[in-house]
Amino acid sequence: MDIIATTRQGKVRGRVRDGIASFLAIPYAAAPFGIHRFRAPAPVQSWDGVRDALAFGPTAPQRPYPPPLDRLIPEVEIPGEECLNLNIWAPAGEDGPLPVIVWIHGGSLRSGSAAVPLYDGRAFARDGVVLVSINYRLGVEGFGVFPDAPDNRGLLDQIAALTWVRDNIAAFRGDPGRVTVCGESAGAVSIAALMAGARAAGLFHRAVLQSGAPQTVTRGQGAKTVRAMAKRLRVPATAEEFAAVNRERLLDAQDAVVGRANPISGGPGFHIVVDDDVVPADPPLPSVDLLLGCNREEYRLWFVPSGALDRVNGLTLRLALLKSRISGRVARLYRASRPGAKPGVILGEMATDFLLRGPLNRLADSRPARTYLYEFAWRSPVMELGACHALEIGFVFDNLRRGETLTGPDAPQPLADAMHRAWVAFATTGDPGWPAWDARRPVMVFDHPHAGTVLAPRQEELEAWLQLDL
């Protein structure tokens, strides 16, 4: 059955199935091409009549992950220019206003889209939450640093989408005064930046950071990737010159410069930069309620499929510690608690704590508002990925069938029930169901068959990082 909703830009036609209304590919800003390329998002023009919102719309220009990650994290590519669009799932029969979750996908700021089947919002709508998923500009188009273009264009897109939600979500039974932003990996990093700046103030009231911590660089650091691409393209490093380059050629250059980098091993990439507009240098402490956490073995998504887990030996580990100015005492501490572990495991565990668990704990320590921490610990049998990066998403969305490339076919439904229920509760009440962060440092550990709150897990290892001058 079709259903009509009226937005400020015009009417849209969605579809109702099994009591859930879905509206797909609603534009929230003008297509970022032509005169709008490498510029801040512009308002979308209104339309007459009823616009169909029945199929996913164009995705931001990108390239798929390199093998074998492309099989584990399959992406969706839909051609077209109107890539600044969003999707909505809402209960068809319930009276509003209902809590809203806005999902910001991850992908190292260069991959991903809201059309990925794993992000289907039907389970949230089934449980009384309006789920909105958004596309935003990626890679050099969204986060390349140029002297003649605004910085953080992908973040500006996210702000434009959140503004659209504030202005229009009531037409879909959503409550504009009860919006939770939720993101994973680069989506969580984006949310951390949005919390820091004034431009997004008041557009959301709670936030969920999954496997992503606050992370910014200077404009000079952020511009290095553009300069490397410009050298390969043999053009000046300006937005005007890049806009004149064929899109496929631009993606070829981007892939050549950043295609093999990853969050654990590092390498050239795209970053959110401090620009004193969207992202201030000295941000105030965010006042929104916050749910944050990571997966116990984040590193295994990159170390296992690539074979790096077995290639890292004792010498490689020592060289990595020297390069990062990390004392051998820290490594000895990790070895002592993991007897017999391979050097690659030790390096990966340290990288996970240095990049994610430590920063998230410090963020929780610094905040005056209610904060809740979790850890996802269930281990996937697929390729021995363990509790790797991105594994928790199918559980949060209660959409295990769509996540089988990472979880395998026998992922525990009770664990999905528990995680999904916690996210629904947080969006609805601000309380996911376990004690808020305090001096006891409670962490909800999601595992199967056992789950529960643990106080200050592996605290000695986290404290070792605080003693380093990094």
Q: Which residues are catalytic?
A: 185, 298, 389
Residue 206: strand, helix, or coil? strand
Strand partners, 295: 376
First to last CA, the chain: 58
Helices 343-352 and 314-323 sit at what angle, rounded to 10 degrees?
30
- Which amino acid belongs to residue 235? V
Q: Among residues 376, 415, 373, 375, which one has the least CA distance to residue 398?
A: 415
Beta strand pairing status for 2-6 and 11-17?
antiparallel
**In one letter, which amino acid is 351?**
A
- Cα separation, 135 vs 395, in Å, equals 22
Pairing type for strands 98-104 and 442-446 reads unpaired
CA torsion through residues 29, 30, 35, 38, sign: positive
**Tokens coding 388:** 């790797």
Residue 27 parent element (H or E): strand 20-27
Q: CA of 52: how far to CAs of 5, 22, 43, 89, 121, in Å?
A: 11, 11, 19, 15, 19
CA distance 15 to 131: 15
Residue with tokens 């991959």: 111
Contact yes or no for 48/12 (Cβ under 8 A): no
